[in-house]
């Protein structure tokens, strides 16, 4: 059954939950404390600035929170599928012993515990930053002094509700994935018709090329994580370089840090899973004379185009988001500069991403070299 050690492996969901709640709570708490000041706001410039602050808080909370929640759901599904694939035989034995599908699936509620940890850390961490954040947002003293309040409703919506929903989601999805018979679970995962047809039609393609293509096609979720990692790095770092002009330097630093954390987490998850899922393939390739460089290129090289696609999407996203903020949020605020696409920021972000990505690929390439063929084959 699912144990706490398995739950602690869900570090990706914990980190994404932390980032989502940290950002959402910071801006939503600020939004609700702004609402308290409504009767003290005068007409004119103060009212325009006040409404711009309200719109910014809502926009960032909903867009950032929505993207991170969607990613957390996809990552949760991936972890559950990965767990079931690894423990097929154990789960098949339990079904053969008479345990019902619902009984087994009910233990997957523990996957929601990772969300609870991330949400609690994000909720508490945002309180630590709030005094500085509030002061920075009102550094020109346009608004009256603000007091930080504890809003119990936000605790329910940002900590309790996500934990309950993700636990239920884990049970429902695992119940669906366990729909096969005990005999089906006890067998090795079968090759699908699509895979069989693909292998039959690719006889003229070199082995390394075919392996690279099949690795990406068979791990579509991991391809999404690589795209998402590049997307986060691209959008967050480029937006961070403009925040000191449009909002505040502190918001820029926060975006930069969150973008790097999310990119590192998802990229680590994707590459680690690819290597762990192809240990026997790696050992067989090395036994037949393929070099460590060829193994790494065959298994990891196919994700490089995905990474650059993610970077392009992130660049488009950040440009569109900033333009929307200028058109909707800051349209009546004086002193906000007109935004043009920043090629310098893009090239700095792209160069940084290429360096980091290639270093990660090199590190994992060396990890392939250090794998023990004997240990893999015995396992």
Confidence of residue 347 (pLDDT cuts 50, 70, 90): very high
Average pLDDT, the chain: 80
| Exposure string for 175-212, b = 16+ CB within 10 A, e = fewer | bebbebebeebbeeeeeeeeeeebeeeeeeeeebebbb
The highest-confidence range among 47-51, 84-88, 240-244, 302-306, by mean pLDDT, is: 302-306
- What is residue 193's predicted lDDT score, i.e. its pLDDT? 44
CA distances from 298 to 214, 265, 301 (A): 10, 23, 6
Checking if the pLDDT of 185 tops 70, the result is yes
All structural domains of the chain with their residue ranges: 1-190, 192-379
- What is residue 194's predicted lDDT score, i.e. its pLDDT? 42
Tell me: the pLDDT tens digits for 271-326? Answer: 877 777 777 777 777 777 877 788 878 778 888 888 999 999 999 988 888 887 77
Checking if the pLDDT of 327 tops 70, the result is yes
- What is residue 304's predicted lDDT score, i.e. its pLDDT? 87
Checking if the pLDDT of 218 tops 50, the result is yes
Residue, of 159 and 296, whose pLDDT is higher: 159
Confidence of residue 29 (pLDDT cuts 50, 70, 90): very high
- What is residue 332's predicted lDDT score, i.e. its pLDDT? 59
- What is residue 7's predicted lDDT score, i.e. its pLDDT? 55
Checking if the pLDDT of 121 tops 80, the result is yes
Q: What is the DSSP letter of 378?
A: H
Handedness of CA 22, 23, 28, 33 (dihedral sign): positive
Count of Cβ atoms closer than 10 Å to residue 214 Cβ: 17
- What is residue 357's predicted lDDT score, i.e. its pLDDT? 87
pTM above 0.85, yes or no: no
Residue, of 337 and 271, whose pLDDT is higher: 271
Confidence of residue 153 (pLDDT cuts 50, 70, 90): very high
% of the chain with per-residue pLDDT over 90: 16
Query: How far, in Å, CA of 127 to CA of 232, rounded?
Result: 24
- What is residue 352's predicted lDDT score, i.e. its pLDDT? 92
Residue, of 353 and 285, whose pLDDT is higher: 353
Confidence of residue 358 (pLDDT cuts 50, 70, 90): confident
Checking if the pLDDT of 223 tops 90, the result is no
Query: How far, in Å, CA of 282 to CA of 289, rounded?
Result: 11
């Amino acid at each position: 059954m699912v144990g706490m050690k398995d739950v602690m492996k869900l570090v990706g969901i914990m980190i994404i939950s932390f980032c989502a709640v940290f950002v959402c709570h910071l801006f939503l708490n600020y939004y609700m404390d702004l609402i308290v000041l409504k009767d003290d706001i005068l007409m004119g410039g103060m009212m325009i600035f006040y409404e711009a602050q309200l719109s910014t808080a809502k926009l960032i909370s909903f867009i950032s929170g929505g993207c991170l929640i969607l990613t957390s759901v996809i990552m949760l599904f991936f972890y559950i599928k990965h767990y079931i694939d690894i423990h097929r035989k154990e789960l098949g034995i339990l079904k053969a012993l008479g345990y019902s599908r619902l009984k087994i699936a009910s233990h997957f509620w523990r996957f929601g515990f990772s969300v609870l940890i991330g949400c609690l850390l994000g909720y508490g961490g945002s309180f630590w930053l709030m005094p500085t954040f509030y002061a920075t947002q009102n550094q020109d003293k346009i608004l009256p002094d603000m007091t930080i309040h504890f809003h119990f409703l936000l605790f329910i919506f940002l900590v309790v509700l996500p934990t309950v929903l993700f636990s239920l989601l884990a049970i429902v999805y695992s119940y669906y994935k366990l729909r096969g018979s005990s005999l089906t679970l006890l067998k090795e995962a079968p090759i699908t018709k699509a895979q069989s047809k693909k292998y039959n039609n690719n006889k003229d393609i070199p082995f390394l090329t075919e392996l690279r293509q099949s690795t990406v096609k068979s791990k579509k979720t991991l391809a999404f994580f690589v795209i998402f990692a590049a997307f986060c790095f691209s959008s967050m770092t480029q937006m961070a370089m403009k925040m000191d002009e449009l909002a505040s330097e502190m918001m820029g630093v926060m975006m930069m840090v969150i973008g790097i954390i999310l990119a590192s987490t998802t990229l680590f998850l994707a590459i680690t899973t690819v290597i762990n899922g192809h240990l026997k393939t790696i050992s067989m390739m090395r036994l037949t004379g393929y070099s460590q460089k060829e193994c790494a290129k065959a298994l990891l090289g196919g994700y490089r185009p995905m990474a650059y696609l993610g970077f392009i999407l992130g660049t488009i996203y950040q440009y569109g988001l900033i333009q929307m903020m200028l058109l909707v949020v800051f349209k009546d605020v004086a002193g906000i500069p007109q935004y043009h696409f920043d090629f310098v920021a893009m090239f700095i972000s792209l160069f940084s991403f290429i360096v980091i990505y290639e270093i990660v690929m090199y590190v994992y390439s060396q990890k392939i070299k250090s794998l023990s063929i004997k240990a893999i084959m015995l396992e």
